[in-house]
Amino acid sequence: MKQKVSKKFEELYGEGAQLFTSPGRINLIGEHTDYNGGFVFPGAVDKGIVAAIRLNGTDRVNAYALDLGEQTSFGLNEEDKPSEGWACYIFGVCREMQKRGGKIGGFDTVFSGDVPLGAGMSSSAALESTYAYALNELFHCNIDKFELAKVGQSTEHNYCGVNCGIMDQFASVFGKAGCLMRLDCRSLEYVYFPFDPEAHGYKLLLVDSRVKHELVDSPYNKRRQSCERVVATMQKKHPHVQFLRDADLTMLEEVAPELSQEDYKRARFVIGEVRRVLDVCDALERNDYETVGKKMYETHWGLSKDYEVSCVELDFLAEVAKACGVTGSRIMGGGFGGCTINLVKKELYDDFVATVKSKFAAEYGHEPKIYDVVISDGSRRLE
Ligand code: GLA
% residues pLDDT > 90 (the chain): 96
Q: Is 38 in the pocket of ligand 1 (CB under 6 A)?
A: no
**Cα gap 265→223, rounded to integer Å:** 11
The answer to which of 106-120, 202-216, 345-359 has the lowest mean pLDDT is 202-216
Confidence at residue 215, expressed as pLDDT on a 0 to 100 scale = 59
Distance 215 CA to ligand 1 centre (A): 16
Confidence at residue 177, expressed as pLDDT on a 0 to 100 scale = 98
Q: Is 31 in the pocket of ligand 1 (CB under 6 A)?
A: yes
Atom 8, ligand 1: which residue's CA is nearest? 164
pLDDT digits (tens, 9 = 90+) for 42-88: 999 999 999 999 999 999 999 999 999 999 999 999 999 999 999 99
Going by C-alpha positions, the residue among 79, 48, 155, 90 that lies closest to residue 377 is 48
Going by C-alpha positions, the residue among 309, 229, 293 that lies closest to residue 267 is 229
Judged against a pLDDT cut of 70, whether residue 169 lies above it is answered with yes
- Per-residue pLDDT band at 383 (split at 50, 70, 90): confident
- Per-residue pLDDT band at 218 (split at 50, 70, 90): confident
Ligand 1: residue of 26, 34, 307 to mutate (most ligand atoms within 8 A of CB) is 34
Going by C-alpha positions, the residue among 184, 163, 181, 162 that lies closest to residue 173 is 181
Judged against a pLDDT cut of 90, whether residue 213 lies above it is answered with no
Cβ 265 vs Cβ 244: under 8 Å: no
Judged against a pLDDT cut of 70, whether residue 377 lies above it is answered with yes
Distance 8 CA to ligand 1 centre (A): 32
* Sequence-distant (≥ 6) Cβ neighbours of residue 163 within 8 angstroms: 35, 156, 157, 220, 221, 224
Distance 256 CA to ligand 1 centre (A): 26
Calculate mean pLDDT across residues 232-253: 97
Confidence at residue 303, expressed as pLDDT on a 0 to 100 scale = 98
Calculate mean pLDDT across residues 183-191: 98
Alpha carbon of residue 34 to chain centroid: 11
**Cα gap 219→163, rounded to integer Å:** 11
Q: State the pairing for strand pair 202-212/179-184.
A: unpaired
Amino acid at 256: A
**Cα gap 177→195, rounded to integer Å:** 9
- Domains of the chain, residue spans: 2-196+377-382, 197-372
Confidence at residue 182, expressed as pLDDT on a 0 to 100 scale = 97
**Cα gap 353→249, rounded to integer Å:** 38
pLDDT digits (tens, 9 = 90+) for 252-310: 999 999 999 999 999 999 999 999 999 999 999 999 999 999 999 999 999 999 999 99
Atom 2, ligand 1: which residue's CA is nearest? 164
Distance 280 CA to ligand 1 centre (A): 19
Out of 80, 114, 144, 168, which one is annotated catalytic?
168
Confidence at residue 212, expressed as pLDDT on a 0 to 100 scale = 86
**Cα gap 8→5, rounded to integer Å:** 5
What global pTM score does this model have?
Answer: 0.96
Domain 2-196+377-382: which CATH class? alpha beta
User: Hey, what's the torsion of the CAs at 282, 285, 287, 292, to 10 degrees?
Assistant: 30
Q: What is the DSSP string of 149-181?
A: HHHHHHHIIIII-----SHHHHHHHH-BTTEEE
**Cα gap 284→293, rounded to integer Å:** 11
Active site residue 168: yes
Calculate mean pLDDT across residues 188-204: 96
- Specify the ligand 1 atom closest to the Cα of 30: 12
- Per-residue pLDDT band at 349 (split at 50, 70, 90): very high
* Sequence-distant (≥ 6) Cβ neighbours of residue 160 within 8 angstroms: 85, 88, 89, 92, 124
Ligand 1: residue of 28, 115, 163, 168 to mutate (most ligand atoms within 8 A of CB) is 168
User: Hey, what's the torsion of the CAs at 10, 12, 14, 20, to 10 degrees?
Assistant: -60
Domain 197-372: which CATH class? alpha beta
User: In Å, what is the CA distance from 378 to each residue of 45, 148, 276?
Assistant: 8, 12, 25
Q: What is the DSSP string of 55-104?
A: E-SSSEEEEEETTTTEEEEEESSGGG--SSHHHHHHHHHHHHHHHTT---
Judged against a pLDDT cut of 60, whether residue 216 lies above it is answered with no
Calculate mean pLDDT across residues 21-32: 98
Confidence at residue 235, expressed as pLDDT on a 0 to 100 scale = 97
Q: Is 8 in the pocket of ligand 1 (CB under 6 A)?
A: no
